[in-house]
Structure 1
């Protein structure tokens, strides 16, 4: 079993990287079902609400299974998977789940808005 990085330490470091590169807000959209899950979109904006590119490379050795140098986009993606595996592991199984992770750099928050899909069965018996 591979070691899992401390989620709070990862958040603190990622927020610092994002702030360094002028990012104020990030939204990660994710979706999964049928044993497959992925991030659908990652968008970032500065304080003026202008879209910001996440192509800058950073050195982030905290995530042991990643290259120690990765793009900000890849770092956000890895952080999203850390959160999802810790709080909604298996969101990609069966009917799956989906949602958004909203990162607010100034407030220092990462909020997961998650929805689980499920199959429901209703039974009715009628005797005539």
Structure 2
């Protein structure tokens, strides 16, 4: 009697890791959707059309540096209002709290970067921008790696 061929062990492990990563990514995306559902209407109601959140991870530290808001005709101030913020904790649970809108946008950006670029704050660090288009509800992440490079030459004398 013939037995069906079993996939090699490394294929089974890779498939399990891939499934686990997809589950984790789905959880991250679900929490990000909840965050966007909380802050987008607030921004829209206050005439904000775009938000840019800048982050920098130089010097083995990571931080959100600036949260800039823009109205249709230039710079705008973020309103000093409260916003619900949701985060995926290490144990897989979702935590929720109400914080200042600017803090919610900062936390959203930091969580998005951490979910996609683990270790962005290490070494020379990375830097980038989270861009939020309020009308369309789209969020873009421009991430820039920093690294030290060198060139070696060897000469026999």
Which TM-score tier does this pair reach, normalised by the shorter chain? 0.7 to 0.9
Conservation of the 8 A alpha-carbon contact between 2:35 and 2:85 = no
Residue in structure 2 matched with residue 84 of structure 1 by the alignment: 113
The Cα of 1:22 is off from its aligned counterpart by: 2.3
Stretches of structure 2 that go unaligned for 5 or more consecutive residues are 1-26, 88-93
Considering fraction of residues, name the structure with more helix: 2
Conservation of the 8 A alpha-carbon contact between 1:44 and 1:54 = no
Structure 1 residues 61 and 45: alpha-carbon distance in aligned structure 2, compared to 1, 3 A threshold: closer
Structure 1 residues 13 and 69: alpha-carbon distance in aligned structure 2, compared to 1, 3 A threshold: closer
**Which deviates the most, 4-13 or 114-123?**
4-13
Q: Distance in 2 between matches of 1:44 and 1:61?
A: 18
Q: Distance in 1 between matches of 2:108 and 2:156?
A: 55
Q: Distance in 2 between matches of 1:36 and 1:90?
A: 10
Aligned pairs for 1:1-128 (under 5 A) are 6-58=31-83, 60=84, 62-63=86-87, 68-128=97-157
Count of aligned positions:
124
Q: Distance in 1 between matches of 2:43 and 2:75?
A: 14
When the two structures are superposed, what TM-score results if normalisation uses the length of structure 1? 0.83
- Which ranges of 4 or more aligned residues in structure 1 deviate by more than 4 Å? none
The Cα of 1:13 is off from its aligned counterpart by: 2.7
